[in-house]
Homo-oligomer: A and B are copies of this chain.
Amino acid sequence: MPRLDDVARAAGVSKATASRALSGASGVAASTRERVQRTADELGFRVSGAARRLATGMTRTIGVLTPSVNRWYFGSVLHGIAHAADAHDHDVLLYDLGAFGRGGHEKFERFMTRGEVDGLVTITWSLVGGDLTRLADLGIPVATVGEPTQHTRSFALDDDAAGEQAAEHLVRLGHTDLLHLAAEPEVQPFEASSSDRRKRAFERVSARHGLRIRPVQTVPTTLEGAHAVVREIIDRADRPTGIVAGTDEVAMAALLAAHQLGIRVPEELSVIGVDDVPAAAAFGLTTIRQDPAQHGEDVVAWIMAALDDPDDEPDRSHTAYAPVLVVRSSTAPPS
């Protein structure tokens, strides 16, 4: 494996000049640069990432802290991040916190102070307690996607608007008796979660339109987790005419349960979710769409900008994405 020294010698320049030529720095004659470039190619030279890191202090890597990797939302964000990072010629280091068993906290501690990344993005629910605050003091750009946060730059769906739109959609169809199924994350989030936000949005709409008051039911976020409990909830005589689910997975669980109980959708029961997961279309699920991959792209773009910019005021703003209603066949006027 040829070193920079070799390239320099072969091209008849100094190591310093070779470095400049290859890294695209200024102060090198065009002809020289080209020559160095060429001999580097011929020799099959690759800069040593390790050496570059040591010298520059930059890792060309961004870290991602995520509570999970194989749920749609997280996976999509991660995908967006990977795409954008690659476009900026950066690597992505994955920290699957869910994988960290019980020792999660110490691992996190150790990781934090290791300086293996230039920037960090945490996905919702990743951090608890004061971790996020400490993270923000890391000296590198830190951003959160999935929920608004005080301590870092953040990106997320506008959950208030999403929750309202979902409920309003059913109200406009004529429903007056709705039930909200709040999706509860496995691990309790630090600040008010999107689940809470959607729930409160539902309650606002209920109050505004004087709907029948039914206590919000809290169920697991996942299809498999929610299924049994949702089924039991639906299997009652005084069932609502419409269900506003906090998540598509919960909504799909409701659809499945309804089917198994012989309840016709949307004739006897309307169901609306939030997310627009890929399977939603096949289910004919009316839902509120969000595009997590885009969030991932945006968060990386922000990190890159923060990396370039001279270190001005830390930016802790929040960008909320507007939800969009996608009407399919799981909702209709009550009969």
Contact = CB atoms under 8 A, between A and B. Distances in A.
Interface of A: 1, 44, 46, 48-51, 53-54, 57, 59, 61, 64, 68-72, 74-76, 78-79, 82-83, 86, 91-96, 98-101, 107, 113-116, 222-224, 227, 252-253, 256, 259-260, 278-279, 281-284
Contacts of A86: 96, 99-100, 107
A72 B71 CA distance: 8
Nearest to A104: B86
Given A70-B79, A79-B96, A278-B223, A51 B48 contact: no
Which 5 residue pairs of A and B lie closest in terms of their CB atoms, listed nearest first? A70-B75, A82-B96, A83-B99, A50-B53, A227-B282
A96 B114 contact: no
A96 B91 CA distance: 10
Q: Which of A94, A98, A115 has the most CB of B within 10 A?
A: A94
Contacts of A71: 75
Given A96-B82, A259-B259, A46 B278 contact: no
A93 B96 contact: no
B114 A46 contact: yes
Contact of A93 (B76, B93, B223): B93
B279 A223 contact: yes
Given A46-B114, A227-B281, 9 more contacts: A48-B115, A53-B53, A68-B79, A69-B78, A69-B79, A78-B96, A83-B99, A93-B94, A222-B278
A1 B57 CA distance: 13
B115 A281 contact: no
Contacts of A48: 54, 115
19 contacts: A49-B115, A53-B54, A54-B54, A69-B69, A69-B78, A70-B78, A75-B75, A79-B98, A82-B95, A82-B96, A82-B99, A83-B100, A91-B93, A92-B94, A223-B278, A224-B279, A227-B281, A227-B282, A253-B282
